[in-house]
Structure 1
Amino acid sequence: MKWGVLFLPVALAMAMSGCANVSEINESLPTMSVISGKKPHEYAQCLVEQLAESRGALQVESHKDGMRVIVPAKFSSAPAAVFDIEDRSTGSSIKLHERMSNVPVRPKDVQKAANTCISG
């Protein structure tokens, strides 16, 4: 019975979040909005390297004046996060949108990679 009480809120949060597509994720408020001295392709490459073990293959594509990186969920190929990286004269501006941005127990590997790649 104790496990059911602990599992129910987590299962309910996951069921309510459902599967989202890239445009739905981008409609949410960004969980991070920063500027980096790295160019968009450099920042995207850093994300690919940082998330290779925990997330597998990321989808990297040209987008507007920069790059878009789509991060898959840990246990499915559905998108879990979207990085929009736009070119600036001195580097890039980065916005991160996450599917479960309002769930406090979500995996933190994406946020950690995002912060590591800003200047690292």
Structure 2
Amino acid sequence: MTFGGYYYAVGPIIALLVVAVLALLLRWTFSRGRSLVERRPSRGDSSEYGLLEVVSAPATFVEAEVQRRTLLDAGIRATLAPTTEGPRVMVFPEEAGLARQLLEGRGGRP
């Protein structure tokens, strides 16, 4: 393929086109209201969290975070889920029994 005397301009033109396409994609991805990345989190029922099992139903998010940190400090993977019924501390089923024991031992409400 020959470009005559303009062969030196082909590389920079291709590079500018690639950068322009990437800029358009990023602008579309991060634009407000139409983004596929940024979505408002939705609250669901406690049964809508896949494999996770509820081990505690505290009254406040502060209490739930304290319980979650207690489980994390004990080596149990835990998450705080804002459900439609209120905050729930959730763990995987194989760790649920131990998690309930730990939370009951420190005065938590399972």
Q: Which band: TM-score by shorter chain? A: 0.3 to 0.5
Q: Which structure's relative contact order is higher, taking Cα pairs within 8 Å and 6+ residues apart? A: 1
Q: Return the TM-score normalized by structure 1.
A: 0.34
Look at both structures and tell me which one has the larger radius of gyration over its CA atoms: 2
Q: Which has the higher helix share?
A: 2
Q: Return the TM-score normalized by structure 2.
A: 0.36
Q: Which has the higher strand share?
A: 1
